[in-house]
Amino acid sequence: MSTLLESYAAGRWFRPADDGEPLLDAATGEEVARISSRGLDVAAMVRHARATGGPALRSLTFHERAALLKALAKYLLEHKDELYALSLRTGATTRDTAVDVDGGIGTLFSYASKGVRELPNDTVVLDGGLERLGKGGTFVGQHLYASRPGVAVQINAFNFPVWGMLEKLAPAFLAGLPSIVKPASQTAYLTERAVRLIVASGILPEGTLQLVAGSAGGLLDELTVQDSVAFTGSAHTAGILRRHPNVLDGGVVLGVEADSLNCSVLGPDVRPGDPEFDLFVKGVVTEMTVKAGQKCTAIRRVLVPSSLAGEVVEALAARLAKVSVGDPRNPDVRMGALAGLGQREEVRKAVEALRASSDVVVGDPAGAPLLDGDATRGAFMTPLVLRARPGATEPHDVEPFGPVSTVLPYDGLDEAVALAARGRGSLVASVVTHDPEVARAVVLGLAPWHGRVLVLDRDDAKESTGHGSPLPVLVHGGPGRAGGGEELGGIRGVLHHMQRTAVQASPDLLTAVTGRWTTGAARADTGVHPFRKSLAELRIGDTIASEPRTVSLADIEHFAEFTGDTFYAHTDAAAAARNPLFGGIVAHGYLVVSLAAGLFVDPAPGPVLANFGVDALRFLTPVKAGDAIAVTLTVKQITPRSGADYGEVRWDAVVSNQEGQPVATYDVLTLVAKTWEEDTR
Ligand code: NAP
């Protein structure tokens, strides 16, 4: 008998109490594994995640969590051959598997990198700026994101057994939430293999990843207000989950990625022979055939100007004729099998429903000869293009989750947008055009109905990742029928898992809470210039307040001449006098910032290694000849970089005039050595 899949639960591999149901090879029909979750204690899994995984994860900073994701990505990359070999059994070609396996690993890398670059080396994320709530500045407000002490349950569809797991795991992990992954049974053997690799690597803290192989059983019954469910699958199952009492009344957050009738629109500006015409046809064929069309983002509706519908169908037929279908073990096969005979039956039913108002114009619904493979035991299917008759409704309602697309002719951009909207919300749309006006009209028309819109033309085609590829840095999800969920999107995907809270406090206590110096909080002048302190010695709030310096007309003239910035406000007294904001010659803002650097800097070699930028620079009050400016520089945030012997220090800089009015405020960004020995100075 083949392998009985096991769940990874509460720190050990759990073998089910029965022999389970068979899972069949998509191409040969042979048994690959058996699956069951009978006897699995899902309540213990939830307790383990809460008691062991969550606390372990939340004791790490974002940077430490990101480092683990990077180590995991490297590890899986080294072991991906195992996954590739097993993936063939899902019906996937090597090209399809790259989308699943390498796409998943790439998502881990992307989150690892974003976690370090865009999140603090801390456990709290600030959202937006400081809100001054009282006139005296002693009562301020700050939004922040904190980790939830819950568990993230991730239920996935059968089509991406590796990517589906990793794209949900990575943002939740960064957010400090342990995951319980429940893959679709059909292809769960591949997810199980990936989880075995992950567990064997020992990289992730125990309890941060658990696996349910088989039915979810009563998992949702165990969830409560700090927990979440991220679901990818059919609208039908989504409906069942939405009605679960813990979702309806128990405060469990449910995110849904469901059916989607994505479309691609050929712009009315495009003519046969234009590069965009070929790009459009190629895009449709790619989306129909990668993963045998079993992609939530695949193009189901092909919207073309009526006058070109015939030519588009001919071009699709010509391209599809080159797509060889068969057993993915044969390297000449371009399109493998659907995940199983059950799935193929579903697609065939969907095609029958579509035929009520559309005609098959490319491909034979009865099937065509295979390049390789057993046509009776394998879930093979010939790609089919249908053409909708006027007034067709089914193409906007029925999702054939396979290599099937329907051409819908349109007249005018308004009709194209209206047809796209009849999908009632989709994950992604594309418009293929080289006309700026068409691009704007269609994108703005499609945007409310889609989570992502690709504008494809001859200029971006070469680098474009295509219509159907969700990218870790961009939002994946769509409104309405597509589920209304949102995943990925870079750090947005992490923040979805965290709680945003508005904190009101005094500046000192807010500084203590956030770990970031807040305007109005205590400053400490320790008598040692902060540029002489290494990261180990610097403290939040360390300050240097400079002596004043008078800005002369000669300074302004010199700066104008030296830099070539002879803008009239700095050089022409009469013209500057007529300027309603200045009323006379003023110093260049950059002169003020440069002079400020001269005032705060400690020049000798020391732990400050470099100035790598400024943030949020604002010039608030004009500086005139004769004004005396001084600067106060305060350590605002300290971010050690793991793997480097330096870190980032963000300094709050306030330049004031002799009246005490702020003339410029900004953050100075520097790199500072973690340690600095006296004898190396
Ligand atoms: P499905 O039948 O809805 O199954 C999805 C997942 O839900 C599977 O893991 C399934 O487990 C689980 N499930 C089923 N009933 C459940 C219940 N009562 N409680 C908890 N979990 C339950 O969908 P599918 O056939 O696998 O996937 C195809 C559909 O997914 C298509 O409609 C496609 O559009 C959609 N999809 C959407 C996206 C997206 O990102 N928007 C991506 C991929 C697919 P079992 O397999 O063990 O039943």
Work out which ligand 1 atom sits closest to the CA atom of 470: 40
Phi, psi of 49 (to 5 degrees): -60, -45
Alpha carbon of 629 to ligand 1 centroid (Å)? 64
Q: Find the 233 Cα to ligand 1 centroid distance in Å.
A: 3
Which atom of ligand 1 is nearest the CA belonging to 182? 9
Which among 208, 173, 204 is positioned nearest to 71, based on CA atoms? 204
CA geometry: angle 617, 621, 518, nearest 5 deg: 50
CA separation for the pair 121, 643 (Å, rounded): 13
Strand, coil or helix: 539 = coil
Q: Cα of 4 to ligand 1 centre, how many Å?
A: 22
Q: Are 207 and 137 in contact (CB under 8 A)?
A: no
pLDDT above 90 covers a percentage of the chain that reads 95
All structural domains of the chain with their residue ranges: 41-257, 263-472, 523-673
Tens digits of residue pLDDT in 392-407: 999 999 999 999 999 9
Element (H, E) at 232: strand 228-232
State the average pLDDT for the chain.
Answer: 95
3-state secondary structure of 302: strand
Evaluate whether 260 touches 482 at the Cβ level (below 8 Å).
yes
Nearest CA to ligand 1 atom 35: 233
**Cα-to-centroid distance, 133 and ligand 1 (Å):** 47
Lookup: tokens for 365 = 């619904």
- With a CB cutoff of 8 Å and minimum separation 6, the contacts of 329 are 27, 88, 372
- The verdict on whether 263 is a catalytic residue reads no
Residue nearest to atom 47 of ligand 1 (CA): 185
The average pLDDT across 135-153 equals 97
pLDDT digits (tens, 9 = 90+) for 41-52: 999 999 999 999
What does the pLDDT read at residue 681? 46
The one catalytic residue in 167, 296, 399, 487 is: 296
- Tell me which residue has its CA closest to atom 32 in ligand 1: 234
Cα–ligand 1 centroid distance for 532 (angstroms) = 59
pLDDT at 578 over 60: yes
Quote the CATH superfamily of domain 523-673: Hotdog Thioesterase (3.10.129.10)
Q: 167, 257, 276, 287: which is the annotated catalytic residue?
A: 257
- Protein residues whose CB sits closer than 6 Å to any atom of ligand 1: 155-159, 182-186, 215-216, 232-234, 237, 240, 257-260, 296, 399, 401, 427, 482
Could you tell me how far CA 268 lies from the centroid of its own chain?
A: 32
The class (CATH top level) of 263-472 is alpha beta
CA of 194 to the centre of ligand 1 (A): 19
> For position 469, what pLDDT does the model report?
92
User: How do residues 595-610 score in pLDDT, each as one tens digit?
Assistant: 999 999 999 999 999 9
| DSSP calls for 29-85 | --EEEEE--TT--HHHHHHHIIIIIHHHHHTS-HHHHHHHHHHHHHHHHHTHHHHHH
Q: What DSSP designation does 321 have?
A: T
Active site residue 257: yes
Q: What's the confidence (pLDDT) of residue 365?
A: 87
Q: How far is the CA of 269 from the centre of ligand 1 (A)?
A: 39
**Does position 679 have pLDDT exceeding 70, yes or no?**
no
In sequence order, what E strands does 165-313 have? 179-182, 209-211, 228-232, 253-257, 263-266, 301-305
Task: Please state the separation of Cα 233 from the chain's center in Å.
Answer: 19
**Residue pLDDT, tens place only, 42-85:** 999 999 999 999 999 999 999 999 999 999 999 999 999 999 99
User: What CATH superfamily classification does 41-257 receive?
Assistant: Aldehyde Dehydrogenase; Chain A, domain 1 (3.40.605.10)
Atom of ligand 1 nearest to the CA of 214: 47
Residue nearest (by alpha carbon) to ligand 1 atom 39: 257
In the three-class reduction of DSSP (H, G, I as helix; E, B as strand; rest coil), residue 438 is classed as helix
* pLDDT at site 658: 97
How far, in Å, are 146, 272, 551, 570, 649 from residue 594 at the CA level? Answer: 38, 58, 12, 16, 19
Ligand 1 closest atom vs CA 257: 41
Minimal-distance CA residue to ligand 1 atom 41? 257
Q: Which two tokens stand for residue 216?
A: 């979810």
Ligand 1 midpoint to CA 358 (Å)? 27
Mutate to test the pocket of ligand 1, among 159, 234, 474 (most ligand atoms within 8 A of CB): 234
Q: What is the mean pLDDT of residues 519-532?
A: 94
- Most informative mutation of 24, 222, 261, 296 for ligand 1 (most atoms within 8 A of CB): 296
| CA-wise closest residue to 303 among 259, 267, 274, 357 | 267
- The pLDDT of residue 22: 96
CA of 234 to the centre of ligand 1 (A): 5
Pocket test for ligand 1, best of 163, 166, 181, 237 (most atoms within 8 A of CB): 237
The per-residue b/e assignment along 354-372, b for 16 or more CB within 10 angstroms, e otherwise, is: beebbebbbbeeeeeebeb
Q: Are strands 301-305 and 404-410 parallel, antiparallel or unpaired?
A: parallel
CA distance 211 to 15: 12
Which residue in this structure is represented by tokens 């697609």? 347
For the CA of 256, the closest atom of ligand 1 is 41
Tell me the mean pLDDT in the region 240-250: 96
Ligand 1, atom 30, lies closest to the CA of 233
State the pLDDT at residue 2: 66
The token pair at 117 is 């670059």
Q: Which of 262, 261, 263, 267 is nearest to 432 (CA)?
A: 267
Q: Atom of ligand 1 at shortest distance to CA of 157?
A: 26
Task: Give me the phi and psi of 524, to 5 degrees please.
Answer: -125, 115
Q: What is the DSSP letter of 581?
A: T
Q: What is the mean pLDDT of residues 294-308?
A: 96
Mutate which of 232, 259, 427 for ligand 1 pocket (most atoms within 8 A of beta carbon): 232
The secondary structure of residue 120, as a DSSP letter, is -
pTM for the whole structure: 0.92
Atom of ligand 1 nearest to the CA of 159: 43
Residue nearest atom 17 in ligand 1 by C-alpha distance: 237
| pLDDT tens string 325-359 | 999 999 999 999 999 999 999 999 999 999 999 99
pLDDT tens sequence across 480-525: 999 988 999 999 999 999 999 999 999 999 999 999 999 999 999 9
The structure tokens listed for 661 are 């009015």
The alpha carbon of residue 464 and the mean position of all alpha carbons in its chain are separated, in whole angstroms, by 17
Over residues 199-214, the mean pLDDT reads 98
**CB 66 within 8 Å of CB 115:** yes
Provide the angle, in degrees to the nearest 10, between the axes of the packed helices 163-175 and 103-118: 20
Q: Residue 642's pLDDT is what?
A: 82
